[in-house]
Amino acid sequence: MPQGQVETVPDDGLTTRQRRNRPLVVVHTGEMKGKSTAAFGLALRGWSQGWSIGVFQFVKSAKWKVGEEAAFRALGRVHESTGEGGPVEWHKMGHGWSWARKAGREDDHEFQARMGWAEIRRRIEAGVHDVYVLDEFTYPLKWGWVDVHEVVDVLARREGRQHVIITGRDAAPELVDAADLVMATTKIKHPMDAGQKGQRGIEW
């Protein structure tokens, strides 16, 4: 795709504008770091367009703090006070599922994952957000906690302009087939190869 030019134009009856503005399913998978970072970068672009951003982290504990969360919460406050950008919601498994009404154990990860997906499905069907980041969502699918066929069906039937970005290793083949954009990160070199542990500002 040199200079962003498409190689073929499908005979789908859509205008260039319609095709350019259709919602996307994006999957960032692979063994290397950077999958979530790339997803949050796309969400940042969406925020600058005034889009509603919903982030849902499926593996990280509600107690785990990451730099992107602090930044996006600050951007949410900017929107609330000035109208610039778009609204932001950030949720994590466990007590971070702020909509939860049932009292489930925090260590019942399967229950938490199912509850999170149920809420995301409700929001997609209601058209709540413009951009959904389902961070590390490939793992509940891989472990069978959430039915991948149900997820693919919900994504296929979503209405409006709702972009969905899913991250995590070992993306299910069904999810890869349903996605519009799939990227796989591959490790060439990493500081940990030389015995260096993760550091603030880089890993979190």
Calpha distance 120→98 (Å, rounded): 12
Set out the domains of the chain in order of their start, with CATH numbers.
22-186 (3.40.50.300)
* pLDDT at 62 (0 to 100): 61
Token pair recorded at residue 17 = 């504008």
- pLDDT 10s digits, 122-177: 999 999 999 999 999 999 999 999 999 999 999 999 999 999 999 999 999 999 99
How much is the pTM? Answer: 0.90
Over residues 77-130, the pLDDT tens digits come to 999 999 999 999 999 988 778 887 665 565 688 999 999 999 999 999 999 999
Q: What is the pLDDT of residue 54?
A: 98
Q: From CA 134, how far away is CA 167, in angstroms rounded?
A: 6
Average pLDDT along the chain = 89
